[in-house]
Structure 1
């Protein structure tokens, strides 16, 4: 299930993004970014619609994923 980021309280969204950034270990290349910069980058991606927040009832978990990887018929329990 896709959760609209605008529906989340600001503190909850910040915590979710921070948790995602810390969990993902994303490769940012040779540049080093602070946690705050990484959180801001993910927030911008949410605002642009490049990524979405997914909730899995099966796993009772939340993640952030690129929008292009989510098909219209894909069940959120698949992530």
Structure 2
């Protein structure tokens, strides 16, 4: 289920984004970016509709995924 990110409290959204960008294996390319840059980038992608927050009933978790991956599944 897609979660409307605009309806989340700012602190909750920040925590979700930070948790996402701090996961091992998240790749940002060859250039190093600060945590704030990564958070800002994900927030921009949410605002642009490139990515969405997805609730997994099975795993009881929230993930950030490309919109195209959700639409095509």
* TM-score, length of structure 2 as denominator length: 0.92
Task: List alignment gaps of at least 5 residues for structure 2.
Answer: none
How many residues are aligned here?
73
Task: List alignment gaps of at least 5 residues for structure 1.
Answer: 75-79
Cα RMSD over matched residues? 1.4
1:35 aligned residue: 35
* TM-score, length of structure 1 as denominator length: 0.85
1: CA distance between counterparts of 2:26 and 2:57? 25
Deviation, 1:25, is: 3.1
1: CA distance between counterparts of 2:42 and 2:12? 14
2:9 aligned residue: 9
Deviation, 1:11, is: 0.2
Answer yes or no: is 1:53 the counterpart of 2:39.
no
2: CA distance between counterparts of 1:28 and 1:61? 23
Q: Where has structure 1 moved over 3 Å in runs of 4 or more?
A: none
